[in-house]
Amino acid sequence: MAITAAMVKELREMTGAGMMDCKKALTETNGNMEEAVEFLRKNGQAKAEKKAGRIAAEGICRIAVGSGKAAVVEVNSETDFVAKNETFQTFVETVAKQALDTTAADMDAFLAESWKEDASKTVKEALVEKVATIGENLNIRRFEVVEAPIIVDYLHGGGRIGVIVAAEAGADNDAVREALKNVAMQVAALAPKYVCRDEISDDYIAHEKEILLAQIMNDPKESAKPQKVIDGMINGRINKELKEICLLDQIYVKADDGKQTVGQYIAQVAKENGTDLKVTKFVRFETGEGLEKKNEDFAAEVAAQMNA
């Protein structure tokens, strides 16, 4: 069967695969469109497996917002160049929309779901096809969905950091949302771990005190101090740490006096607007955090090839 340009164009639009790949798939399947799609999927899987061992620590975060909820996702690529690619960014935005409506409790279940854009394939299969199209290893690393009466989202650095802030308030207006946007920027900048001290377990505090005590006892000068002084030193250091990791205890980065805490800022906004306002949760994703980064030493690579 003769393979026409129109057939190649149709298959390319259906799959996003390259022109020559589409022509080959149609040739191998004698022009059968459904079999050609299956051929490309299998071929894409083969390509994805070859790329799966590569480090994917770049990428972007994207956020999708619905009625009373929002979802943030992180999708990784091998290079920052691909992370800036429009095709990749559109794919990540679709992944975020998928996460907004997901019922999955973990990543395995999420990848097994029907793809929002095409129910004939799974999220995993859509990812594999995108790997084949873009030519880099890609990874849907994580997602989180937040539900709350008021939700504000913030992307920093083109999506290097994605933040969702959830809140409760007696009024939902521009002033409240502006304040929460400022709080989201605070989360992006200073990366707190908790909203407030009430979220911190006694086990965490006890563990941190053990570490601080060990540090003091390993210092001959400090360990010689009276126990009461040592206890005071430990409590002081714990309080300092909590002020850094608890959002409401952090110094508000836009404070005029450099002393106002985030908690005090929120209380001020609530008072000025005659309402109550409470931050209940936040989620902060930073692209590549905790992942091994690819070390591209091209001089060393060339030298190694020459030596070989």
> Domain boundary at 14, 33, 51, which?
51
CATH number of the domain to which 140 belongs? 3.30.479.20
Whether the Cβ atoms of residue 114 and residue 122 lie closer than 8 Å to each other: yes
Residue 154 lies in a domain: no
Say what the pTM is: 0.74
> Domain boundary at 95, 123, 147, which?
147
Residue 286 lies in a domain: no
Two structure tokens written together for 115: 């793809």
Helix (H/G/I), strand (E/B), else coil: 106? coil
Give how far Cα 164 sits from Cα of 79, 144, 150, 245, 277, Å: 25, 10, 10, 17, 16
CATH number of the domain to which 42 belongs? 1.10.8.10
HSE (side-chain half, CA atoms, 13 Å) at 231: 3
Residue 293 lies in a domain: no
- Same domain assignment for residues 68 and 47: no
Residue 211 lies in a domain: no
Residue 86 lies in a domain: yes
Residue 134 lies in a domain: yes
Q: Digits of tens for pLDDT over the chain (308 positions)?
A: 889 988 888 877 666 667 788 888 899 999 998 888 778 766 664 454 455 556 567 899 999 999 999 999 999 998 889 899 999 999 999 999 999 999 999 999 999 999 999 999 999 999 999 988 888 889 999 999 999 999 999 999 999 999 999 999 999 999 999 999 999 999 999 999 999 999 999 998 998 889 888 888 988 888 899 999 999 999 999 999 889 999 999 999 998 888 999 999 999 999 999 999 999 999 999 998 877 665 445 455 445 544 55
- Same domain assignment for residues 42 and 99: no
- Same domain assignment for residues 61 and 141: yes
Residue 220 lies in a domain: no
Phi, then psi, of 269 in degrees rounded to 5: -60, -40
Helix (H/G/I), strand (E/B), else coil: 75? strand
- Same domain assignment for residues 33 and 75: no
- Same domain assignment for residues 143 and 59: yes
Q: Which of 152, 174, 187, 194 is nearest to 275 (CA)?
A: 174
Whether the Cβ atoms of residue 146 and residue 281 lie closer than 8 Å to each other: yes
73 forms beta bridges with 62, 143
Whether the Cβ atoms of residue 215 and residue 238 lie closer than 8 Å to each other: no
Measured CA to CA, the distance from residue 142 to residue 61 in angstroms comes to: 10
Number of domains in the chain: 2
- Residue 10 sits in which domain range? 5-51
- Same domain assignment for residues 62 and 41: no
Supply the DSSP symbol for 194. B
Residue 287 lies in a domain: no
- Same domain assignment for residues 17 and 91: no
> Domain boundary at 85, 120, 147, which?
147
Q: Which of 160, 121, 143 is nearest to 40 (CA)?
A: 121
- Same domain assignment for residues 59 and 142: yes
> In this predicted structure, what is the pLDDT of residue 290?
79
